[in-house]
Amino acid sequence: MTPLLEIRDLRIRLGDRALVDGVDISVNPGEIVGLAGESGSGKTLTALTALGFTPPGSAASGEVLFEGRNTLTLPKSQLRALRGDRVAMIFQDPMTSLHPMLTIERQLTEHQLAHRSLTRRQAREHAIELLERVRIPDPHRAIRSYPHRFSGGMRQRIAIASALACEPDLVVADEVTTALDVTVQAGILRLLDELCRDTGMAMLFITHDLAVMNVLTERLYVMREGRVVETGATREVLAAPTHEYTRALIEALPQTDTETA
């Protein structure tokens, strides 16, 4: 199978610091892949660079093939089209993707109106369907509201709806459940899992929380200090980690989490 996303020997330097140091990651169509590792190990930087957002002053080398195109060398206009259409990102803080001053309708229809030839009414109907899919109660009313009216978990659901609007092939989810309490977290994980299965969308799921990885991902990469130190089937990596660092991460988990996850 040709991977949907293939990161090859990605290196990111900032001044004389090697922030990411030779990373290889691949995601197949429809696959849910985890990217784990402690804070500062380079997970977010790897994902953002792969989607063409390199921090100012940094230099990236290697290759990032998304649907066969190298995002590191793609012209800005093509990159923007790709990001608006084939790949979407969801972040820890839903307000990163949601605008506080715009109604949910505006936020869910804007992309569709820009990327699809839909009428406003069709886009609105699609937005209501999206809200139903992410289980927002009373979507007809919700669509006229502003983000502040919703709880953190509900906002994250709306951010997910917004990511789904253009039916991307890949969604990159960066610590999307980290700020939520455990029961809300479990609901979001179930939702993401279901959406990937139903739509055939692939997901790169980033978190430092290995217990969450166990619930959701099929395959896992563990990063440390800008490098991938371990990779394999999530079950196998978590059951029998070969790297001392992964073992330490697992030992740091609360016991009940690993057992019930």
Ligand X SMILES: Nc1ncnc2c1ncn2[C@@H]1O[C@H](COP(=O)(O)OP(=O)(O)OP(=O)(O)O)[C@@H](O)[C@H]1O
What would the 3-class secondary structure string for 47-59 be?
Answer: HHHHCCCCCCCEE
Residue 150, CA distances (Å) to 73, 164, 165, 194 in order: 39, 19, 19, 22
**Tokens representing 37?**
């590792």
* Least distance from Mg ion to the Cβ atom of residue 41, Å: 9
* Least distance from Mg ion to the Cβ atom of residue 208, Å: 8
How many residues sit in the footprint of Mg ion (CB under 5 A)?
Answer: 1
Residue closer to ligand X, measured from CB, 21 or 85: 21
What would the 3-class secondary structure string for 136-177 be?
Answer: CCCHHHHCCCCHHHCCHHHHHHHHHHHHHCCCCCEEEEECCC
Q: Write the binding mask 102 to 141 for Mg ion: x where contact by CB under 5 A, - elsewhere.
A: ----------------------------------------
Count of CB atoms within 10 A of residue 21's CB? 17
User: Which positions lie near ligand X, rule CB under 6 A?
Assistant: 14, 19, 37, 39-45, 55, 208
Quick check: 171 and 163 in contact, CB under 8 A? yes
Q: Which amino acid is present at 145?
A: S
246 binds, among Mg ion, ligand X, none (CB under 5 to 8 A by kind): none
Residue closer to ligand X, measured from CB, 38 or 85: 38
Residue closer to ligand X, measured from CB, 36 or 128: 36
Quick check: 261 and 214 in contact, CB under 8 A? yes
- Judged by CB under 5 A, the chain residues 41 through 100 that form the site for Mg ion are 44
* Least distance from Mg ion to the Cβ atom of residue 189, Å: 18
* Least distance from Mg ion to the Cβ atom of residue 252, Å: 17
Residue closer to ligand X, measured from CB, 41 or 109: 41
Tell me phi and psi for residue 87, to 5 degrees: -140, 140
Residue closer to ligand X, measured from CB, 37 or 168: 37
Contact set with Mg ion (CB under 5 A): 44
